[in-house]
Amino acid sequence: MAVISALENKPASDEKVRQTFEAIREAVLLEELGVSGHHVHNAEKKAKGKKQTSLRELFTGGRGQNFRRVALGVAIQCFQQVNHISGAILFILLMCLHFR
């Protein structure tokens, strides 16, 4: 709440700060549980008995589309790695040719 009050330049006891905090808390809770709509009270009940995320969920194309996100991250990392290797090889090649 201290961060929100600092961002809005208001004391932590201000009603707007408290509303913002509660809205963020509810949104995070709903996102964690994959609950659509504003069923916060039901989501809070589910949160107590929530299981950990399984590896199987990584490959499902459900609401989070986890596999697409992971595949995109891996592809970007591979391209970045190849780019750095290519740059290093080019630099070494140019240095060898220059100092012959």
Q: Do 4 and 42 lie in a common domain?
A: yes
CA-CA distance, 41 to 45, in Å (whole number)? 6
Q: What would the two tokens of residue 89 be?
A: 């090889």
Q: Do 46 and 62 lie in a common domain?
A: no
CA 81 to chain centre: 22
* Residue found under tokens 């592809």: 75
Find the domain containing 35 and state its range: 1-50
Q: What would the two tokens of residue 34 be?
A: 């994959």
Q: Do 43 and 15 lie in a common domain?
A: yes
pLDDT tens digits, 31-77:
777 655 545 555 555 555 556 666 666 666 666 677 788 888 999 99
List C-alpha distances in Å: 37 to 5, 21, 40. Answer: 27, 18, 8
Q: Do 58 and 98 lie in a common domain?
A: yes
Q: Do 60 and 93 lie in a common domain?
A: yes
Q: Do 30 and 66 lie in a common domain?
A: no
pLDDT, mean of residues 8-36: 85
CB-hemisphere CA count at 13 Å for 45? 3
Q: How many domains does the chain have?
A: 2
